[in-house]
Structure formats: structure tokens, C-alpha cells
Structure 1
Amino acid sequence: MAKGLGKGLSALFPGESLSKAESVENINVKSIKVNPYQPRKIFDENAIIELSNSIKEHGILQPIILRKKGMTYEIVVGERRFRAAKLAGLKEISAVVRNLTDEETMEFAILENLQREDLTPIEEAEAYQNLMENLKITQEQLAFRLGKSRSHIANHIRLLSLPEKVRLYIMEGTLSMGHGRTLLGLQKKEQIFPVAEHVLKEGLNVRQLEKLVQKMNEDVPRETKAKKKDIFIAEHESNLRDYFGTSVTISKSKNKGKIEIEFFSEEDLERILELLNE
């Protein structure tokens, strides 16, 4: 698989020119299966209906991309068009069949959705996590292959540390990615879900939530409150936080100091250790 794939898909997607060995075929919809690596879990039913009506009137304007899988075909790109075509009652659908590995199929499916901005932040995070696990690569390597920044990858994956119900709120769009990232800043992690519920009830925006989280983190016994942090230490903390994609605290005394890096799961710990070993 070529590195830096996300920076130039070179005729992968419909509308691009085909290679000399390729052609558009009409494939029976009954012989087509959905992509098991499809990162998108939520399909807009109204959008599918609208596309189906368009297909009834104009037909399939762009072929989908398939790969042969035994006696059947598997969708690589174009599941929404496939769903709409079935809804429109089509017996066949125009497609280009390509010889792709599981890894390529997974990567292409994610890239298609990322380019079309079709994924929720949680779906995107899960897609990144699956790619790293299946391809056995680090966040840095994944960022290069997809043409993304490492911090973009890290900030999404951090969302997977949120409680399941909070992740569902982000999936549904009732909470934003900004809300999720801010909730992760709570020092007492058991407060995340109750605060998320409070955000929904009061309709707090991200800026209001940031102020609430800051207040809750500062609401500790006076004798345990930390002194105002040195501006240079704070800057180093910020740089490390961006690099590791998690909370980092630097504390310093007269003769020694320590750096604390927060992690939320075994997978998150492995991710941080990989970054330390790079």
C-alpha cells in the first residue's frame, strides 16, 4: 500500500478516469454485500430517499467501486448509492471491480468518508483506531498515510475514552467534538457523564462548558490548590499535551520534578508508549 495515500487517491473515486484494464460493469445487486470495514454507522434516511428518487429519474451517474469476494462482490466505495439503488428497485448497478486487499479496502472506505465529511467524530475515531490495530501502525504513521496531522488523529482517538452514553450523544450530534474534548479535561472522570447531562439540559456551548470545567477543577480544598504555574512550564505542558493527545502535568520543586502523562485505557497507554519509543 503506497504511503501518503490520502494526499492523492489517483482515480480511486467515481468520476476519475479508469485504467486501461478497467471498465464499468452492470452487477446484480443481489450479489453485492456491504463493506464490513465501513466506518459510517449512521446513514441519513432522508438523504437516501432523495438519492433514490434522483436515481429513478436519472439513473446511476457515478459507478460504485467493488471488489470480488468469492462468488459475490463487496462494496469498497459507494454504499450510499448502493442503498439508494436498491430502494429505487434497480436490479443491477453500474460498478468498477478492483482487486484490493482487506487493508486497502478498509483504508479506502475510510478515506472516501473522510473526503466527503460523512463521519461523526466518534465514527472517525473508531475508524482510526481500527486502522492502527489492523495495519499495526502508529498514530504518526497513520497521520502520514491519510494526509492528516498527528494531533488530529490523537484528538479524535481520545474521544473513545469518554463514557459510552457520552459517545452516543456525540454520534447523534447532540454534543459536539468540542464538548467531548472539554469533558475529558475534568480531573474527576466520574463527573463526565453528569456534566454532559447538565450541558444538554442547560444547552451550554463549548465556551460555557470550558468555564464550568475550569471552575470544577479549581473547586478543591484551599490547602491543596496549586500555585500559579510558571509560564514556561505551562507552555511545555501545552506542547506535550498536543504531542501525546492527552493531559500532561509538569510539577517542579527545588531539587527535582516530575512529568505526569494521563491515559484512559490499556489501548491509550500502548499508544502513548509507542510515541515515547519513537
Structure 2
Amino acid sequence: MAKAMKKQALGRGLSALLKDPDNDIKSAGDKGADKVVGNIVELELDQIEVNPFQPRSSFNEEALKELASSIRELGVIQPITVRKIDFGKYQLVSGERRFRASKLVGLETIPAYIRIANDQESLEMALVENIQREDLDPIEIALSYERLIEEINLTQEQMSERVGKNRSTISNYLRLLKLDPIIQTGMRDGFLSMGHGRALINIDSTSDQLDIYEKIIENSLSVRATEALVKDYKAGKGIKTPEKPKPAQVPEFIETGKKEFAEYFGAKVDVKVAAKGNGKLIIPFSSEEDFKRLKKLISGA
């Protein structure tokens, strides 16, 4: 399942733009800079150098191998950030674990956000504008919030004012980034909603998170059913798939009437009945002409 959800590399067109020596982008005011600022660019790994002033010098090898395994299956979900130091040369700002793990896997390129000279204000505008888009998935929104906090040095309170969202809403999005990468990918691909993700955040064990994720996908569980599953898990009842509610028993008079309706209208009539006894009568039609025929039968005209 993981391989089926592997994301395609982004920003290859922008990569070509950055390889043009006659139009080298050195600052936010240069031609083409607006296409780079705030966007994901696919960079070659050998163009990137680690930051010599990176305070973190040691990395857990086992954790790095686990991340490398995830990247091998899913690709790099969260782009790194680099700053442009020369034509075709970049230095890491954040994401060294992703950078190192990608090298371990043998990738040649990695998705990256590029910082260029005096782009602070442009980047903030681009990120805030990006968050306002309607077609973003929850993980994309969370990543944009994270960038505003880390790269623009905004507090959640300041960000709340910039993007017009409650601080609690921003916090809920940011918490999604703590989910296992496979689950994040599922959300990006539309298999899960933000409601599903928020329920899964309450599970500390990664393996249990993934077990519940599998059950959500296999059984098309709603957010409410997922919340019930997580609640039972937290109560020590294990991970059990909620039983599907039994369909309401259709009274005999409806079954009989349905056949009579079908004969009268010359169409397969369907009846939906709720537990309280109320319901809907559904009469299908195949064309405008068929609709007018049914209308004539109903009105008696």
C-alpha cells in the first residue's frame, strides 16, 4: 500500500530555471525569483552542503535508517530548506536528517524550499497566501504553518493574526506533523481527513497508529467510528474494528408497495427507511423524456 502512495517529485520545472547561468537568481528582486520563493524545488543532492554551524552534530544511526526506509517507500514528504550561496550551490538551513537519509537511500534529488537574499518579506507573503488556498490538504497547511514559525520566527499568536485563524486551529494542524509519515501521506492523498488524523494523534505507539490506520482504510471508517476505536484502545480494549450498524428492517408493506410502484412507473423503485420509520422513495429516470413520462404518471395529467 505504501508504494502505491509514493509521491511524485515536485518542482522539476523550477530546477531548470535555477540552472540557467544567464538568469542566475541572487535576490528576491531578480527575474524569476517570485517563482522560487515559497515553492518546492527539486534540487540535486550534490549541490547541497551541510551547514558548518549546525549545532546538532550527532545523529542516531538507527533512527536515520528508519527514516531512510520510510523515504525509500514514500519519498521525502517534508521538503528540506536551503539557502542559495552561489550559482548551483546551496547550504542546508533545516532538514539535515532528511538530507542524510536521502543520501543513504541513494536518491539523486530532494524537494527543497530555497531561501535567497532579502526574501524574508516575500517568503512570508507567499506562505500566508499559500495557506489561504482552498485546494491544500491538511499536511500542506501544517507544513506552511511550521515554516512560518521556524523561518519567519513567528509565534503561534502572531501567526494567528497573519492568517486569520484561531491559535487552537493552528496548533491542531501542527500536531498532525507528529503522525507517522505513512499516515501523513495517506492524508495528502485523500485517504484520511483531518478529523481522522486528529483522532490518531492520541495514539503514542507508531505501530498501533498504523494498525488503526489500516482498519480505517480497509473498513472506510468515518471520523466518529475512528474516534470510538481510539477511545476503546485508550481504555485498554485493544484495536477492534467497530461493528457496522445493521440495516433497518424493511416492513412488509413497503416491500409490497415497492413492487407495485415499480410496475406502475415501469422503473426499479428504491425505498430508504430510517430506524424511526420515516424514509425516501427514489424513482430513477434515464432521460428528459423519461422524466416527463414519470411526471405525467404522478400528476395524472
The answer to whether TM tops 0.5 is no
> How high is the TM-score relative to the length of structure 1?
0.44
Name which one, 1 or 2, has greater alpha-carbon Rg. 2
Higher relative contact order (Cα pairs below 8 Å, separated by 6+ residues):
1
> How high is the TM-score relative to the length of structure 2?
0.41
